[in-house]
């Protein structure tokens, strides 16, 4: 393990979190513009986090409440470690040789579940309702997501992310063009994962007072917000790797991830919210149907 | 403990961040609640100052009391305030929170909110327009930046006084103790 | 003296001894059972790596008892969990009535399971299989008043399964004239296609019932729910594995990989294997969906058991080395985590007297060890790295995708995702959320109950990052018994044709990151304040005692609305309707006996006349 | 060392008529006479066993050699059945000592002795008319025993039994007459030899008449209308004796006729089909019975259906299975009846639903019942397992997979209704009310004996198999039988 | 020949009585009739016209001139058995009448199904 790799390992979570938070800030800004507002500055989320970290008190309901955010970010950082971030001349592979796509699918859940556990211990019924909705929705979007990944794995006969990146050497070979069905299914799942507008019933602030984290405040909330940014980044990088041929350098990475990030954002801005079971069944209807078409095609 | 708090109060970065990120828990009592949506939405767009609505007291920084408070409601307000994480600020909104306003002689409303929870900023008017509200927020931001918005500390230090006042109006006292 | 009969004698002997001598006092009966188990597992350990045979004749049939790596593998599960359960029972059963009966049935069950895995011929296999059925039935009905329907359902379904197996065994015997496994695997190719199909279907019926494969699972939830928790963990953890063992035998020993010769191949798997894989996948999915909406912790675990066994069946159906290894690995995992979880739920039941999520909650601060066990258990069961459940699921998925069975893969993954939901339900319903005031004084269970659970959770951690020894064992089984070339694996690395995962790295990464984050998080900021359970945001309202803050009833209500169509259909109701209709039909039969003596005479005369009329046929 | 086998019939007969006299002297002596006498029979049967296994013991009475005189033919089969009968009789008579309290109990013992004597005679005799006579002795004592309790239902049952029984025995007599008219002999071996030359139409008519007659005792469907009533209304030991003795003797008669005397292969298929029909209908009827003894009666019919099926296979293994099943049934069914009798006695009601919670009140008796239920379901390691295994195995080996499947379906139904009763014993809360009866030690001894036999045979079936194999061979090898009998005394 | 006809008509009449008559006493009578019929049949089997009883009362009698003795022995036994059965049947009928106050067999159907 080269020293460079170790440095990246330490730096990448911070960079990732910063980029992710920035994206979310930009998304707030864009949303504001769409709504004919001025909107907060793009770095607003970072301010929020600093503020939260500098809160003077924090309450905890117990061990799991305390560990929930910690484990959540642990899961996210662990996921990051197994995603190849850059593939160009100065690659950032971290541990991605030691894991594959299936590992990623599962380790991504680690954080969510940990957060759900923390939320559970808060004892707030709203949190529990939020978790219930979140897990249900997760069950919904994982189906098209899994289909998309299976299409890729079967098509390239590999489950290694690096190999999939390698197969997309030119723009024309990007999976977004080669496996459009897979991409559509995956993007639909992505909407759900990001928790953007049509699928944000999990955090519905006015209804269940922001759902799972409703009992979290102060430093815990800060950690969770950081996690949110980092997680968004990780997912974006993964999608870039899978569908946009990875990234050779940071600029490409940022361009590609941002482009990807805009999709759920714009869909979210113009759409109202789904109910939980509507969301679940939505995922099982159109994205799944499209994914199945892709599956049939890849088998032929 | 207090030294520590003071040190943090004067932390410039922290105060800057606090100032620019005010998460509001709008306690929509009375008629004032109607003025909050315009403040937040496109026309006045409070979000550009980092002011955002929050749903739970655990996450909020600012408690916005929008109007008169009946005794019954006061209980909830106190509870909500006590559940917020320090540093926390209270904005009294409209004349009812200042002196009872048009409910001055009502048998069942409180007159001066500051007697029960520490108010950092009062916004005058019946009702104050969104411009007034934003102005109040900016005043609060300035106080925060200067490290003057210390109502929560005041509440902690003079808890007995506040409790006495609260108990005076709230007859069946079942509140849990304020635990910090 | 041969070791196998010695072990069996020891176990059956301690069962009887515990029953008869155990009338005297509690310590004696549990002690005898435990001692018998310990001694016999010592003897069992000495059998490692050996291949012994014990041949004798009974009732004119040649019977063989043998030990090979496959039997040792399953025997390991039996004794491992058996001992832990026995230790757990020493406290769990204290003060309950009829402990002697319990000890007897427990020892008999363990003995019969051991008998099954050492059977070298179909007859003794069936013999022990039936003993296992009734002895476990005795345990299912331990809480007698409530257990009637569950017990009878279990028994009847087992009997149907066992009898279909009997037909298959005797069909084989009629053709080969021998019960031994070797003769069967040698003679399998001589069977006609129809015979092969019949034998496979009949065996699958039998094993499917025990392994709670989906359309045959209906006994499982009730039987699991009603049996004493200490036994349930053995029931789900090991006894259901006997069905899996049967599947292994059927597909890899009896037919010895010759299925491809008589059936078409689909995606490189023989048709029966492929169909079996689908059965497994569908039971994984549907059982998981049903598990999600349960309110009884043990029923939830029971359905989860059905689902997890579905994975194992799926892996076995695939037939490739990686699939079979995944299945066997998952079998071990399932033993461990279902053992843990049932023991933990039993511990909760021991302290609180209920298993309903709607009545429990918030026990984390009262039973932290149990919580920890359940936490590890659900992480494993959900297949989330870095614990051991991930390794086995990974192997199974790789096997499916390698074979390009994409739809199977979709179903399986969906099931796996859905399992997060019930996992959360389980831990939330019991340990998180609000606690009822009557459970404020609940204490952690004694060490004798904690120990086995914690030991099992250590195993999941250990296997989570270092599955090497287990994989060695599985490879040994595949090489020597199943005739499969084992797949490649490193110390902690699992390889498939198109991917690899290093479990050690995963574990290390997670552990290191966790430690760093935790230390930073705790060091940089002051300690946070612990507040009471009721100190939650409730819009300023002060929650009184009468307000239910524990969100546990209809936890996944939107979900059940969404998948209501699936949940509405119940195989159980179908069977019960069928059974009651059949019963009504059978009931008509007794009206033949009208009660009028003359009618009976009439029957005699008519019978005589009838037979006389057709007497020419008899000549 | 065995005594003259004639004593096996003569002693019980003599003792039977002695009992009333003894009863006049002392009531208690009468109770113990059956135990002694049937014990003697048991001794004889056991002692004869090694001898008869090698070569049938032919007892010539009054120096009239076969085929002229009456003779006893004690082959392995007859000896085996005599053993079963005397074993069951012995155990039941132990149970009787205290169970039968109703007056006049010496008459009960007398009738019981007659029953045993008749049944023993049936299985030992070599003469077809004697077979009829002993059948009648058995049946008449059965009728009387059925009606022993002075109750309206038992009288009704007895009357039905009597009507059906005497009609059927008339058929037997007609058959015997037909055979005698055509062959001019009554010795079974001689008949078997001479029947070859008889017009098959007459022979088959005679056979059908005889089969119908014995079928009634053997509980073949639809001739078994008497069985549920008689079983359920007779005193418990008598029910046990029906299952263990009367039916066995009837089945022996049936088997002897169709295997040794006649040689029509069609009858085997007929028996196979009748067996499975009997089995299925009986099991189905048993499913919803309300009275425990009636349920056991139907179960008994079902078991006999299985035996018929096994005999219908007409192969060595099949007949072994059938005989094994007969043995098991003869042991287990009395166990069930005896324990059920005590349960009924305690609860004061014959209905199953009144047995709720007896497992708690009467653990021992309930245990015996549950044990018997498990054993008769054919679960290992009890004896029922092996016989069922052999029968089903042989059925499948002969290609009757469907029949085997049907038989197993019958077994499943059997499991359901037995478990229901066992369930009621153990799972239901007991009804209110004081019950102070206790099981008398003699009953416990009797039931324990049966239990031990079940376990022993289940764990070590070879012991029994060594005796069953020659018995089956005897049935199948009729020329040897003819030779043995006709050359006896030369 | 006439014996055979008589025997079979007796059997048939008896069977008719058993099957059709509701009165239990008549059923018992029917049983007796069947019995008698069978007995006549048995006797007639051994009967040869013009031959004497098979008793060696005087030395002049030869075995060839006698009827077959065995059926007679059988019939004697059968008669005894028939008697016993009839007696028992009648006892039971009496007892049934005591309990049920009727002789109609179709009304005595408490044990059924």
Nearest to C600 among D226, D267, D285 (CB): D226
Cα–Cα distances (Å) from B99 to B33, B110, E23, in that order, read: 18, 8, 110
Whether C170 has its CB under 8 Å from any CB of chain D: the answer is yes
- ipTM of model: 0.84
Mean pLDDT of D307-323: 87
For residue B58, list chain A residues with Cβ-Cβ distance below 8 A: 59, 214-218, 221
Tokens of D340: 């059920």
Confidence (pLDDT) at C33: 82
Residue at C62 is within a domain? no
What gap in Å lies between CA C65 and CA A109, rounded to an integer? 46
Judge whether residue D327 has pLDDT over 80. Answer: yes
Return the higher-pLDDT residue of A91 and D137: D137
**Residues C380, C294: one domain?**
yes
Cis peptide before B87 (omega within 30 of 0): yes
Distance from CA of C536 to the nearest CA of B (A): 8
- What domains are defined for chain E? 2-49+61-107 (1.10.287.3510)
Q: Which of B77, B176, B180 sits opposite C540 (nearest CB)?
A: B77
Say if CB E69 and CB E54 are below 8 A apart.
yes
- Closest residue of chain E to C586, computed from CA coordinates: E113
Cβ distance B83 to C539 less than 8 Å, yes or no, reads: no
- Taking an 8 Å cut-off on Cβ atoms, the answer to whether A110 and C506 are in contact is no
In this prediction, residue B3 carries a pLDDT of 47
Gap between the terminal Cα atoms of chain E: 45
Query: A touches which chains (3+ CB pairs under 8 A)?
Result: B, C
B123 within 8 A of B101, measured Cβ to Cβ: no
Whether residue C315 is contained in a domain is answered as yes
| Cα–Cα distance for residue pair E12/A196, rounded to 1 Å | 95
Whether D433 shows a pLDDT value over 70: the answer reads no
Among candidate residues B59, D163, D437, the one with its CA nearest the CA of residue C598? D163
Confidence of residue B1 (pLDDT cuts 50, 70, 90): very low
* pLDDT at residue D1 tops 70: no
pLDDT digits (tens, 9 = 90+) for B7-16: 555 677 888 8
Domain boundary among C471, C505, C525: C525
Interface test with C, best of B8, B14, B80 (most C CBs within 10 A): B80
Q: Tell me which of C526, C534, C535, C540 to substitute to probe the interface with B (most B C-beta atoms closer than 10 Å).
A: C540
252-281 of A, contacting C, C-beta below 8 A: 275-277, 280-281
User: Sorting pLDDT into bands at 50, 70 and 90, what band is B2?
Assistant: very low
Which residue has tokens 């010769």? C261
Which among B66, C610, A273, A233 has a CA at the least distance from the CA of D270?
C610
Structural domains in chain A (count): 1
Q: Looking at the structure, do residues C307 and C405 belong to the same domain, yes or no?
A: yes
User: Domain for residue D335, yes or no?
Assistant: yes
Tokens in use for C378? 């659900």
* Cβ contact, residue pair A60, C557, below 8 Å: no
For chain D, how many structural domains are there in total?
A: 1
User: Quick one: C584 and C487 in the same domain?
Assistant: no
Q: How far is E99 from chain D (nearest CA, A)?
A: 6
Q: With CA atoms as reference, report the closest residue to D248 among D158, D137, D163, D328.
A: D328
Task: Count how many domains chain C has.
Answer: 2
Question: What residues make up the domain containing D348?
Answer: 266-459
Mean pLDDT of chain C: 83
Residue D365 scores a pLDDT above 80: yes
CB pair distance less than 8 Å for A40 and B41: no
- pLDDT digits over B97-128, tens only? 888 888 888 888 888 888 888 888 888 888 88
Statement to judge: residues C507 and C583 lie in one domain: no
- Which of chain D's residues have a Cβ under 8 Å away from the Cβ of E45? 177, 180-181
User: What pLDDT sits at residue D100?
Assistant: 65
Nearest chain A residue to B59, by CA:
A217
Burial C287-325 (b: 16+ CB within 10 A, else e): bbbbbbbbbbbbbbbbbbbbbbbbbbbbbbbbbbbbbbb
Residue of A56, A68, A207, A220 to mutate, testing the B interface (most B Cβ within 10 Å of its Cβ) = A56
Report the chain C residue with the minimal C-alpha distance to residue A207.
Answer: C539
Query: What does the DSSP 8-state code read for residue C385?
Result: T
Q: Is residue D437 part of a domain?
A: yes
Tell which of C467, C501, C525 closes a domain.
Answer: C525
**Per-residue pLDDT tens digits of chain E, which is 113 residues long:** 777 888 888 888 888 888 888 888 888 888 888 888 888 888 887 776 666 666 666 766 666 667 777 777 888 888 888 888 888 888 888 888 888 888 887 777 777 76
* pLDDT (mean) for C508-515: 85
Give the range of the structural domain holding residue A20, as residue numbers without chain letter. Answer: 3-299
pLDDT digits (tens, 9 = 90+) for E41-67: 888 877 766 666 666 667 666 666 677
Q: Select from A73, A113, A280 the Cβ nearest to the Cβ of C384.
A: A113
Query: Which of A32, A34, A40 has the most B C-beta neighbours within 10 Å, making it the best mutation to test the interface with B?
Result: A40
Task: Supply the pLDDT for residue D439.
Answer: 66
Domains and CATH numbers, chain B: 2-169 (3.40.50.12280)
Model confidence pLDDT, tens digit, residues D261-287: 887 888 888 888 888 888 888 888 888
Kindly identify which residue of chain B lies nearest to residue A35, measuring between CA atoms.
B42
Are 3 or more Cβ–Cβ pairs between A and B shorter than 8 Å? yes
> Are D and C close enough to touch, i.e. 3+ CB pairs under 8 angstroms?
yes
Residue with tokens 């699936």: C566
Summarised one tens digit per residue, pLDDT across range C544-585 is 777 777 787 878 888 888 777 777 777 778 888 888 888 888
**Stated pTM of the model:** 0.88
Q: Do B14 and A50 touch (CB under 8 A)?
A: yes
Place of tokens 């003995």: C111
Residues of C in contact with B58 (CB under 8 A): 537
For residues C79 and C47, give the distance between their C-alpha atoms in angstroms, rounded to a whole number: 13
Please report whether residue C505 resides in a domain. Answer: yes
Q: Report chain D residues whose CB lies below 8 A from the CB of E35.
A: 166, 170
Where does residue C446 fall: left (phi above 0), alpha (psi -120 to 50 degrees), or beta otherwise?
A: beta
**Partner-chain contact B58 A32, CB within 8 Å:** no
Across the interface, whether the CB atoms of B47 and A39 are under 8 A apart is answered: yes
Q: What are phi and psi of D188, to 5 degrees?
A: -65, -40
Average pLDDT on D308-332 reads 88
- Specify if D216 maps to a domain: no
Strands B89-93 and B62-66: parallel
Q: Are residues C497 and C605 in the same domain?
A: no
Residue of E11, E15, E17, E19 to mutate when probing chain C, most C C-beta within 10 A: E19
| Confidence check: pLDDT of A282 > 80 | yes
CA-closest candidate to residue C417, choices A153, A195, A137: A137
| Gap between the Cα atoms of D143 and D169, Å rounded | 13
In terms of residue numbers, what domain contains C597?
Answer: 570-617
Residues of E in contact with C600 (CB under 8 A): none
Average pLDDT, chain B: 81
Handedness of CA A280, A283, A286, A288 (dihedral sign): negative
What pLDDT is stored for residue E72 in this prediction?
79
CA distances from A281 to A201, A274, A296, D430 (A): 14, 10, 21, 52
Distance from the E2 Cα atom to the nearest Cα atom in chain D, whole angstroms = 17
Structure tokens at D323: 């005989």
For residues D266, D272, D275, D279, the Cα torsion angle rounded to the nearest 10 degrees is: -150
Considering the domain architecture, whether residues C408 and C478 belong to the same structural domain is answered as: yes
Token pair recorded at residue D99: 């169970």
Kindly tell me whether chain C and chain E come into contact, counting contact as 3+ Cβ pairs under 8 Å. Answer: yes
Q: How far apart are CA E66 and CA A63, in angstroms?
A: 114
CB contact under 8 A, E111 and D157: yes
Q: How far is CA D64 from CA D60, D70, E56, E75, in A?
A: 6, 7, 19, 21
Residue A255's CB is within 10 A of a number of other CB atoms, namely 13
| Average pLDDT of the segment spanning D176-188 | 83
**Domain-embedded: residue D419:** yes
Residues C453 and C576 occupy one common structural domain: no
User: Closest residue of C to A77, CA-based?
Assistant: C513
CA distance A199 to A9: 32
- Category of C557 on φ-ψ map: left (φ > 0), alpha (ψ -120 to 50) or beta: alpha
Q: Does E42 touch chain D (CB under 8 A)?
A: yes
Taking CB atoms and an 8 Å cutoff, what residues of chain A touch B140?
none
Angle at D169 between CA D163 and CA D173, to 5 degrees: 145
pLDDT at residue D67 greater than cutoff 80: no
A72 chain-C contacts, CB cut-off 8 A: none
Size of interface A-B (CB pairs under 8 A): 93
User: Considering only alpha carbons, which residue of chain E is nearest residue C600?
Assistant: E19
Is the distance from CB of C125 to CB of C243 less than 8 angstroms?
Answer: no
| Cα–chain center distance at C618 | 53
B56 and C537 in contact by Cβ < 8 A? yes
Residue C584 sits in the same domain as residue C438: no
Cβ-Cβ contacts under 8 Å, A221 against chain B: 58-59
pLDDT band per the 50, 70, 90 thresholds, residue C449: confident
Axis crossing angle, helix D6-25 with helix D105-124, rounded to the nearest 10: 170
Mean pLDDT of D455-479: 84
Judgement on whether residues C441 and C582 belong to the same structural domain of the protein: no
In a domain, C13, yes or no: no
> Would residue D383 count as lying in a domain?
yes
Among C448, C484, C490, C482, residue whose Cα is nearest residue C465? C490
């Amino acid at each position: 393990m080269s020293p460079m790799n170790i440095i990246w390992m330490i730096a990448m979570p911070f960079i990732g979190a910063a980029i992710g938070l920035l994206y979310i800030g930009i998304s707030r800004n864009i949303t504001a513009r769409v709504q004919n507002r001025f909107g907060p500055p793009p770095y607003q989320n970072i301010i929020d986090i600093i503020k939260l970290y500098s809160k003077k008190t924090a309450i905890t309901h117990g061990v799991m409440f305390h560990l929930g955010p910690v484990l959540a970010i642990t899961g996210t950082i662990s996921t990051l470690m197994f995603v190849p971030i850059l593939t160009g001349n100065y690659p950032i592979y971290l541990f991605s040789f030691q894991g594959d796509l299936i590992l990623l699918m599962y380790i991504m859940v680690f954080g969510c579940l940990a957060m759900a556990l923390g939320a559970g211990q808060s004892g707030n019924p709203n949190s529990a309702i939020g978790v219930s909705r979140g897990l249900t929705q997760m069950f919904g979007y994982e189906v098209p997501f899994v289909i998309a990944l299976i299409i890729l794995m079967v098509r390239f006969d590999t489950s290694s992310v690096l190999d999939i990146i390698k197969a997309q050497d030119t723009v024309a070979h990007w999976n977004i063009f080669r496996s459009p069905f897979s991409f559509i299914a995956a993007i639909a799942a992505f909407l759900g994962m990001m928790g953007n507008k049509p699928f944000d019933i999990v955090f519905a602030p006015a209804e269940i007072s922001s759902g799972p984290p409703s009992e979290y405040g102060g430093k815990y909330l800060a950690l969770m917000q950081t996690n949110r940014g980092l997680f968004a980044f990780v997912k974006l990088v993964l999608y870039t790797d899978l569908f946009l041929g990875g990234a050779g350098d940071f600029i490409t990475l940022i361009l590609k991830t941002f482009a990807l990030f805009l999709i759920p954002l714009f869909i979210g801005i113009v759409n109202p919210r789904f109910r939980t079971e509507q969301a679940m069944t939505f995922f099982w209807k159109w994205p799944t149907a499209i994914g199945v078409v892709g599956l049939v095609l890849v088998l032929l | 403990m207090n030294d520590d708090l003071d040190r943090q109060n004067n932390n410039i970065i922290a105060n800057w961040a606090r100032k620019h990120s005010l998460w509001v828990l709008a306690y929509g009592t009375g008629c004032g609640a109607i003025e909050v949506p315009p403040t937040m939405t496109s026309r006045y767009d409070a979000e550009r100052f980092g002011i955002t609505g929050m749903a739970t007291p655990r996450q909020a920084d600012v408690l916005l009391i929008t109007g008169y408070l009946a005794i019954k409601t006061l209980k909830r307000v106190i509870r909500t305030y006590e559940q917020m994480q320090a540093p926390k600020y209270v904005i009294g909104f409209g004349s009812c929170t200042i002196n009872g306003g048009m409910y001055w002689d009502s048998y069942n409303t409180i007159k001066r909110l500051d007697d029960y929870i520490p108010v950092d900023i009062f916004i005058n008017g019946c009702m104050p327009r969104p411009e007034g509200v934003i102005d109040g927020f900016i005043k609060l931001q300035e106080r925060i930046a200067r490290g003057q918005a210390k109502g929560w500390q005041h509440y902690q230090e003079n808890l007995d006084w506040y409790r006495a006042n609260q108990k005076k109006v709230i007859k069946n006292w079942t509140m849990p103790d304020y635990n910090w | 003296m041969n070791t196998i009969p010695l072990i069996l004698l020891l176990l059956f002997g301690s069962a009887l001894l515990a029953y008869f001598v155990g009338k005297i006092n509690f310590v004696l009966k549990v002690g005898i059972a435990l001692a018998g188990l310990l001694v016999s597992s010592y003897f069992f350990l000495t059998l490692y790596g050996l291949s012994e045979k014990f041949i004798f004749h009974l009732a004119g049939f040649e019977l063989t008892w043998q030990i090979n790596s496959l039997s040792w593998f399953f025997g390991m599960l039996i004794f491992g969990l058996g001992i832990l359960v026995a230790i757990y029972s020493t406290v769990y059963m204290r003060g309950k009535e009829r402990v002697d009966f319990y000890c007897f049935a427990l020892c008999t069950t363990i003995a019969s399971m051991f008998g099954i895995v050492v059977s070298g011929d179909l007859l003794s296999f069936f013999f022990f299989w039936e003993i296992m059925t009734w002895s476990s039935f005795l345990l299912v009905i331990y809480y007698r008043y409530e257990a009637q329907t569950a017990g009878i359902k279990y028994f009847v379904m087992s009997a149907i399964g066992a009898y279909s197996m009997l037909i298959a065994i005797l069909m084989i015997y009629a053709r080969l004239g021998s019960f031994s496994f070797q003769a069967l695997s040698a003679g399998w190719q001589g069977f006609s296609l129809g015979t092969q199909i019949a034998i496979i279907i009949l065996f699958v019926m039998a094993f499917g019932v025990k392994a709670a494969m989906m359309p045959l699972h209906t006994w499982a939830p009730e039987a699991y729910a009603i049996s004493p928790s200490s036994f349930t963990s053995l029931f789900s953890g090991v006894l259901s594995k006997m069905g899996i063992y049967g599947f292994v035998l059927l597909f890899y020993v009896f037919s010895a990989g010759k299925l491809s010769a008589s059936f078409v191949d689909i995606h490189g798997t023989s048709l029966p294997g492929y169909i079996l894989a689908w059965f497994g996948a569908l039971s994984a999915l549907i059982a998981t969906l049903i598990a999600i909406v349960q309110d009884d912790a043990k029923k939830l675990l029971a359905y989860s058991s059905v689902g997890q066994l579905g994975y194992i069946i799926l892996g076995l159906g695939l037939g490739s080395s990686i699939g079979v290894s995944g299945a066997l690995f998952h079998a071990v995992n399932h033993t461990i985590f279902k053992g843990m979880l049932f023991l933990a739920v039993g511990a909760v039941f021991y302290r609180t007297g209920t298993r309903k999520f709607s009545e429990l909650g918030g026990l984390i601060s009262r039973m932290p060890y149990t919580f920890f066990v359940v936490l590890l258990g659900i992480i494993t069961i959900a297949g989330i790295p870095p614990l051991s459940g991930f390794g086995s699921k990974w192997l199974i998925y790789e096997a499916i995708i390698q074979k390009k069975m994409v739809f199977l893969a979709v179903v399986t993954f969906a099931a796996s995702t859905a399992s997060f939901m019930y996992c959360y339900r389980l831990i939330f319903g019991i340990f998180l959320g609000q606690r009822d005031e009557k459970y404020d004084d609940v204490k952690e269970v004694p060490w004798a109950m904690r120990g086995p659970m914690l030991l099992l959770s250590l195993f999941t951690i250990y296997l989570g990052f270092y599955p090497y020894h287990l994989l060695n064992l599985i490879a040994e089984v595949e090489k020597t018994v199943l005739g499969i070339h084992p797949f490649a694996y490193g110390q902690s690395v699992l390889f498939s044709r198109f991917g690899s995962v290093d479990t050690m790295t995963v574990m290390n990464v997670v552990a290191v990151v966790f430690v760093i984050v935790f230390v930073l998080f705790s060091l940089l900021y002051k300690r946070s304040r612990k507040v009471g359970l009721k100190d939650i945001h409730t819009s300023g309202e002060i929650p009184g005692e009468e307000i239910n803050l524990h969100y546990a009833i209809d936890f996944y209500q939107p979900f059940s609305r969404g998948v209501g169509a699936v949940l509405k259909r119940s195989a159980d109701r179908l069977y019960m309707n069928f059974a009651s209709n059949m019963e009504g039909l059978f009931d008509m039969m007794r009206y033949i006996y009208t009660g009028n003596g003359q009618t009976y005479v009439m029957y005699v005369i008519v019978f005589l006349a009838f037979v006389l009329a057709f007497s020419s046929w008899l000549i | 060392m065995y005594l003259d086998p004639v004593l096996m019939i003569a002693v019980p007969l003599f003792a039977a008529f002695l009992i009333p006299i003894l009863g006049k002297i002392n009531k208690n002596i009468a109770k113990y006479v059956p135990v002694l006498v049937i014990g003697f029979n048991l001794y004889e049967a056991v002692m004869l066993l090694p001898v008869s296994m090698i070569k049938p013991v032919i007892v010539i009475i009054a120096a009239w050699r076969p085929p002229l005189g009456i003779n006893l033919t004690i082959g392995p089969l007859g000896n085996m059945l005599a053993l079963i009968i005397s074993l069951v009789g012995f155990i039941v008579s132990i149970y009787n000592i205290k169970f039968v309290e109703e007056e006049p109990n010496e008459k009960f013992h007398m009738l019981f002795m007659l029953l045993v004597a008749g049944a023993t005679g049936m299985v030992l005799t070599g003469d077809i008319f004697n077979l009829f006579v002993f059948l009648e002795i058995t049946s008449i004592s059965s009728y009387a025993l059925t009606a022993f309790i002075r109750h309206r239902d038992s009288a009704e049952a007895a009357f039905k039994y009597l009507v059906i029984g005497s009609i059927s025995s008339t058929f037997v007599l007609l058959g015997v007459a037909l055979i005698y008219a055509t062959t001019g002999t009554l010795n079974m071996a001689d008949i078997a030899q001479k029947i070859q030359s008889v017009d098959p139409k007459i022979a088959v008519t005679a056979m059908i008449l005889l089969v119908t007659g014995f079928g009634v005792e053997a509980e073949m469907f639809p001739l078994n209308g008497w069985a549920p009533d008689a079983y359920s209304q007779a005193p418990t030991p008598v029910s046990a004796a029906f299952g263990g003795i009367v039916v066995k003797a009837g089945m022996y008669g049936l088997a002897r006729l169709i295997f040794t005397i006649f040689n029509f292969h069609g009858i085997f298929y007929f028996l196979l089909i009748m067996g499975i029909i009997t089995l299925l209908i009986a099991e189905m009827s048993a499913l919803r019975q309300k009275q425990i003894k009636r349920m056991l009666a139907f179960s008994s019919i079902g078991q006999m259906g299985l035996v018929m099926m096994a005999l219908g296979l007409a192969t060595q293994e099949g007949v072994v299975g059938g005989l094994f099943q007969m043995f098991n049934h003869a042991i287990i069914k009395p166990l069930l009846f005896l324990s059920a009798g005590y349960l009924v006695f305690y609860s004061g009601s014959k209905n199953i639903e009144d047995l709720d919670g007896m497992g708690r009140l009467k653990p021992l008796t309930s245990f015996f019942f549950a044990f018997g239920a498990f054993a008769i379901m054919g679960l290992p390691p009890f004896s029922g397992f092996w016989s069922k295994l052999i029968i089903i195995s042989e059925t499948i080996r002969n290609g009757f997979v469907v029949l085997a499947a049907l038989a197993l379906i019958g077994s499943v139904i059997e499991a359901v209704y037995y478990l229901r009763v066992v369930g009621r014993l153990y799972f239901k809360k007991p009804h209110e009310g004081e019950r102070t009866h206790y099981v008398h030690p003699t009953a416990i001894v009797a039931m324990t004996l049966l239990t031990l036999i079940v376990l022993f045979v289940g764990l070590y079936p070879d012991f029994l198999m060594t005796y069953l194999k020659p018995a089956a061979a005897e049935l199948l090898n009729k020329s040897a039988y003819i030779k043995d009998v006709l050359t006896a005394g030369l | 020949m006439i014996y055979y006809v008589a025997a079979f008509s007796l059997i048939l009449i008896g069977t008719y009585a058993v099957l059709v008559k509701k009165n239990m006493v008549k059923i018992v009578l029917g049983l007796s009739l069947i019995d008698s019929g069978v007995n006549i049949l048995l006797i007639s089997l051994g009967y040869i016209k013009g031959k004497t009883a098979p008793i060696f009362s005087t030395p002049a009698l030869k075995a060839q001139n006698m009827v077959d003795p065995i059926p007679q022995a059988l019939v004697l036994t059968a008669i005894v058995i028939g008697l016993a059965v009839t007696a028992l049947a009648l006892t039971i009928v009496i007892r049934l009448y005591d309990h049920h106050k009727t002789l109609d067999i179709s009304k005595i159907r408490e044990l059924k199904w």
